[in-house]
Amino acid sequence: MLRLKNVSKYYYQDGVIASGFTKVNLELHLGEFVVITGESGSGKSTLLNVLSGLDSYEDGEMYINGEETSHYTEEDYLNYRRKYVSNIFQNFNLVNSYTVYQNIELTMLMNGKKRKDIKKYVYELIAKVGLNKYKHTLASKLSGGQKQRVAIARALANDTPIIVADEPTGSLDSESSKEILKLLHEISKDKLVIIVTHNKSEIEGYATRLIRMHDGKLLEDKIIKEVNLDSHLEEKKVSNITRLNKLRLGIRNTFNIPIKFTLMFIIFLLISITLITNYGGFKQSEYETNTLGYNNYFANNDSKRIIVTKNNKEPFTNRDYELISSLENVDYLVEDDLLLDYNIGFFSDNLYLSGTILNEDVNKVDVGKMPTSSNEIVVKGNPDNWYLSDMLSSLLEDKFTVDAFNGTKYAGKIKIVGIIYDNEANYYDELEFLLNEELLNDLTLSINERYNKVTYILNDNYFSLNNNMDYFGIKVSDNINSGEIYLSENFNIYCKDYNCLNNTFKIISENIYEKREETYKITNIFNSDNCKKILGINYEDASNYIFISRSDYNKLFNSSNYQSSIFIKEVKDLESTVNVLNNAGYNSLVMKDAQINDGATALQVIKILKLVATIILIIALFFISYFVIKIIYKSRNSYYTTLRTLGSTKSVCINILMKELFTIATITYSLFLIFIILVNKNILDFEYFRFITKYIEIKDYILVYLILILLSVLIANRYGKKVFKNSIIKTYGEKI
Ligand code: ADP
Ligand code: MG
């Protein structure tokens, strides 16, 4: 039983109170077919809205099955509607972009029904309202009468004891009107049906009770036909839409209005492009700031270089080299990278050349020829480099000595036989030298000697050498046999009878990784008289050195390799490669961490400014896109209000919208990523995107996706709040 006791409804508008209806007393029962008539403005709609819980009332009390409702909150009203009331409107309020089937199904999905369980029933209802031919026709394509049939089927699907219809035939021609009223009558047997109509004559055969309103009051309340009244209105069991169906509706809503899909696609695409390009630019400048530095240790500061050592401090084995070379992003591996960082010098009588050792495969030169012996080298540099332009003839004619090389093996014997031009190098850049394998090996040993700590032991006297003080340095002489050592007479003070001949002499060579120890027999003591004869050089050049054979020298300093360098293909893979290396038991150092950023403060400031600009852009993007999306979704107000009349809570509405936005964001972003992949694989030619994504890593792409998702969540929440801010009646009125 639905009962009104002295109920009044007022409207407050612009400070003026208007009355909808006043002091209405009414008792309605199951089984009644109540028809309300009255002139326009007499309060019929207002009364129906209050009865169906679409609007609140100010005075009096409304009882549902004896329960008071005046204290009802928004949520209580929602539950009341869900349990008791279905509405049929003059302008149908169907979802125009759904088919007949989907419109009816929607009601049942909102009531928590499973899709497969309701199929048969939906078809039955469609048959009942005579729309078999239009099952899968869009609601927008139907005539007014057909639309109202769908609305009736939907009300039936909702399965509530009360059906409220406000001028259901108001927009229909008289033929359709008759059919609709007949249909309403047919379904009214075990329900309470309340309808408002202007047309009394149409309704006469059906009404069991007639109420006439005038100026907000009941003028007449006449029982026309006694029916079997049931005073209790059986409330419907309600449950909420399932998670899966929320997702289904979200996905359905993504595609069901093509123009909306297109607009949203464009917006999300623009957001993705703006975020990625800006972020890419930011990463790039960050990268430049990091690498615009110098360091004292590494002559080769290629940003793609990673220096690798083993965690357990053991030398590299072939297994290590294989493992490292096979890593995904590795371009190539330089097993012993000592020479990468070596600044080599060559001097002749006229010239001093310095530079790094060329570290790539070369098979042709621009001037001259490829080297054929270990004394022949090739020089690479910018064509405008002073040595390669003005001094070219001297360069090609002179004989050079390797600076700081131990021994006389190459002294005055090096010839430059070829020149390679490198237009990418600056004209003032250092030169690069292509050296033969033998020369490289000799150089490595020579460098090892300088980097190692070398100690001599002669009769319990320790002599330590270090790089800065060449106190009795080691030299190689080809006149000495293996196992023998020649000392200058300066050493004699450390031996018995001032004679070291035939004593033993120990040399220890060590670095942080390993230690080598060799013992030699002193077989010759040289002095100013015999030096030239024994060693072939002047005593002044020999007095502060000890001399051993080339093979012994090699044995001492041919240390194992403890450090390698890899060069990766793409700078953006730097971090992930470092992670892989670390997990595989290696230490790694990347060049940007080895740089000293002197005077980088200015760059730091630029970097911060760029970051601020990026953040401002993202915020602006949020507001712009929200604004545009809000406009697009304004046309969706009626959809969400319809969901509301079907018993949807605010959170369900927000959730369905969120899933729709997720879907479109994901589709758009996936397509954008495929585009980026194709560009990076050179299948599509968009230089700009290739350039801008150079430094963007996978985690950055994920971050941008998360920003899109965050944007969707914020929009869905704001929009949902807006839709639920006003009453259903008001929101419907606002729809465009
Ligand atoms: P009917 O449906 O019988 O034509 P209504 O119930 O729509 O009449 O209106 C009853 C009275 O309430 C009218 O005087 C109307 O002006 C007023 N009214 C209805 N809706 C509003 C509203 N949203 N704001 C202010 N006054 C309203
Ligand atoms: Mg009205």
* Domain annotation covers residue 108: yes
Per-residue model confidence (pLDDT) at position 601:
65
* Domain annotation covers residue 77: yes
Any residues with CB less than 8 A from the CB of 183 and at least 6 apart, and which? 129, 149, 152
Distance from C-alpha of 10 to C-alpha of 43, rounded to nearest angstrom: 11
Distance from C-alpha of 59 to C-alpha of 72, rounded to nearest angstrom: 13
Distance from C-alpha of 186 to C-alpha of 180, rounded to nearest angstrom: 10
pLDDT at 24 over 80: yes
Residue 201 shares a structural domain with residue 91: yes
Per-residue model confidence (pLDDT) at position 575:
87
Residue 230 shares a structural domain with residue 269: no
- Which tens digits make up the pLDDT trace of 583-597? 988 988 887 776 665
Q: What is the DSSP string of 191-253?
A: SEEEEE-S-HHHHTTT-SEEEEEETTEEEEEEE-S----B---PPPP--PPPHHHHHHHHHHH
pLDDT at 461 over 80: no
| Inter-CA distances, 445 with 310, 399, 414, 558, Å | 21, 23, 18, 6
Q: Specify burial of residue 655 (Cβ count, 10 A radius: 0-12, 13-18, 19+).
A: buried
Per-residue model confidence (pLDDT) at position 602:
66
User: How many Cβ atoms sit within 10 Å of the Cβ of residue 258?
Assistant: 9
- What is the tally of structural domains in the chain? 5
Ligand nearest to the CA of 38: 1
- Which tens digits make up the pLDDT trace of 333-390? 888 887 888 888 999 998 999 888 887 788 899 999 999 888 999 999 999 898 998 8
From 414, 447, 480, give the residue that closes a domain: 447
Ligand nearest to the CA of 730: 1
Distance from C-alpha of 53 to C-alpha of 580, rounded to nearest angstrom: 63
Residue 143 shares a structural domain with residue 34: yes
Per-residue model confidence (pLDDT) at position 87:
93
Kindly give the pairing relationship between strand 217-223 and strand 305-310. Answer: unpaired
- Provide the residue count of the chain: 736
- Which tens digits make up the pLDDT trace of 614-642? 788 878 877 888 888 878 877 788 899 89
Q: Which two tokens stand for residue 274?
A: 């703006």
pLDDT (mean) for 463-475 = 64
CATH (domain of 127): 3.40.50.300
Residue 428 shares a structural domain with residue 516: no
Distance from C-alpha of 224 to C-alpha of 488, rounded to nearest angstrom: 139
Residue 458 shares a structural domain with residue 486: yes
Question: Is residue 112 left, alpha or beta, with left meaning phi > 0 and alpha meaning psi from -120 to 50?
Answer: left
Determine the structural domain holding residue 580 and report its residue range. Answer: 293-335+562-597
| Ligand 1 mean position, distance from CA 161 (Å) | 26
Q: Ligand 1: which of 9, 10, 11, 36 to mutate, judged by most atoms within 8 Å of the beta carbon?
A: 11
Exposure of 112 in the CB half-sphere (CA atoms within 13 A): 8
Name residues contacting ligand 1 (CB within 6 A): 11, 13, 18, 20, 38, 40-46
Angle between helices 550-557 and 437-451 (to 10 degrees): 60
Distance from C-alpha of 70 to C-alpha of 76, rounded to nearest angstrom: 10
* Domain annotation covers residue 605: yes
Write b or e for each residue in 601-636: b if 16 or more Cβ atoms lie within 10 A of its Cβ, otherwise e: eebeeebeebeeeeeeebeebbeebeeebeeebeeb
Distance of CA 310 to the CA centre of its chain: 33
Distance from C-alpha of 647 to C-alpha of 84, rounded to nearest angstrom: 11
Report pTM. 0.65
- Going by alpha carbons, the residue nearest to atom 24 of ligand 1 is 11
Say if CB 484 and CB 491 are below 8 A apart: no
Per-residue model confidence (pLDDT) at position 736:
32
Ligand nearest to the CA of 213: 1
pLDDT at 530 over 80: yes
Per-residue model confidence (pLDDT) at position 228:
77
* Domain annotation covers residue 456: yes
> For the chain, what percent of residues have pLDDT higher than 90?
42
Say if CB 655 and CB 253 are below 8 A apart: no
| Ligand 2 mean position, distance from CA 150 (Å) | 21
Distance from C-alpha of 213 to C-alpha of 166, rounded to nearest angstrom: 14
Residue 146 shares a structural domain with residue 95: yes
| Ligand 2 mean position, distance from CA 562 (Å) | 90
Torsions phi, psi for 290 (to 5 deg): -70, -30
From 597, 621, 651, give the residue that closes a domain: 597
Amino acid at 732: Y
Q: Ligand 1: which of 13, 40, 45, 52 to mutate, judged by most atoms within 8 Å of the beta carbon?
A: 45
| Ligand 1 mean position, distance from CA 53 (Å) | 16
Distance from C-alpha of 261 to C-alpha of 664, rounded to nearest angstrom: 8
pLDDT-wise least confident of 32-41, 278-287, 688-697: 278-287
User: How many Cβ atoms sit within 10 Å of the Cβ of residue 641?
Assistant: 25
Distance from C-alpha of 125 to C-alpha of 131, rounded to nearest angstrom: 9
pLDDT at 735 over 50: no
| Inter-CA distances, 582 with 302, 306, 570, Å | 20, 12, 19
Residue 17 shares a structural domain with residue 158: yes
Q: Residue 469's pLDDT band (boundaries 50, 70, 90)?
A: very low
Q: What is the DSSP string of 676-694?
A: HHHHHTTSS--HHHHHHTT
CATH (domain of 506): 2.40.40
Residue for token pair 């001032």: 498
* Domain annotation covers residue 669: yes
- Which tens digits make up the pLDDT trace of 31-80? 899 999 999 999 999 999 999 998 889 899 999 999 999 999 988 999 99
Strands (E), 489-611: 504-510, 515-526, 545-548, 563-568, 586-590
Per-residue model confidence (pLDDT) at position 468:
41
From 238, 272, 306, give the residue that closes a domain: 238
Residue 319 shares a structural domain with residue 364: no
- Which tens digits make up the pLDDT trace of 289-314? 665 555 556 777 788 889 898 888 78
- Going by alpha carbons, the residue nearest to atom 7 of ligand 1 is 45
Say if CB 629 and CB 711 are below 8 A apart: no
Residue 566 shares a structural domain with residue 622: no
Q: Ligand 1: which of 7, 14, 46, 726 to mutate, judged by most atoms within 8 Å of the beta carbon?
A: 46
Residue 88 shares a structural domain with residue 184: yes
Per-residue model confidence (pLDDT) at position 518:
93
Per-residue model confidence (pLDDT) at position 467:
44
Per-residue model confidence (pLDDT) at position 361:
80
Arithmetic mean of pLDDT over the chain? 87
pLDDT at 416 over 50: yes
- H helix runs in 558-697, sequence order: 574-583, 591-594, 601-634, 637-645, 650-680, 687-692
CATH (domain of 586): 3.30.70
| Inter-CA distances, 32 with 188, 209, 235, Å | 8, 7, 17
pLDDT (mean) for 108-128 = 93
Per-residue model confidence (pLDDT) at position 437:
84
Exposure of 540 in the CB half-sphere (CA atoms within 13 A): 0
Any residues with CB less than 8 A from the CB of 378 and at least 6 apart, and which? 358, 362, 365, 368, 370, 371, 416, 417, 418, 419, 420, 433, 434
Residue for token pair 């229909």: 172
- Going by alpha carbons, the residue nearest to atom 16 of ligand 1 is 41
* Domain annotation covers residue 180: yes
- Going by alpha carbons, the residue nearest to atom 5 of ligand 1 is 43
- Going by alpha carbons, the residue nearest to atom 14 of ligand 1 is 41
Residue 136 shares a structural domain with residue 267: no
Residue 187 shares a structural domain with residue 253: no
* Domain annotation covers residue 17: yes
- H helix runs in 306-455, sequence order: 318-325, 392-397, 437-451
Kindly give the pairing relationship between strand 586-590 and strand 545-548. Answer: unpaired
* Domain annotation covers residue 736: no
- Going by alpha carbons, the residue nearest to atom 18 of ligand 1 is 20
Any residues with CB less than 8 A from the CB of 204 and at least 6 apart, and which? none
Q: Ligand 1: which of 24, 39, 42 to mutate, judged by most atoms within 8 Å of the beta carbon?
A: 42
Q: Specify burial of residue 294 (Cβ count, 10 A radius: 0-12, 13-18, 19+).
A: exposed
- Going by alpha carbons, the residue nearest to atom 13 of ligand 1 is 41
Distance from C-alpha of 232 to C-alpha of 243, rounded to nearest angstrom: 33
Per-residue model confidence (pLDDT) at position 400:
94
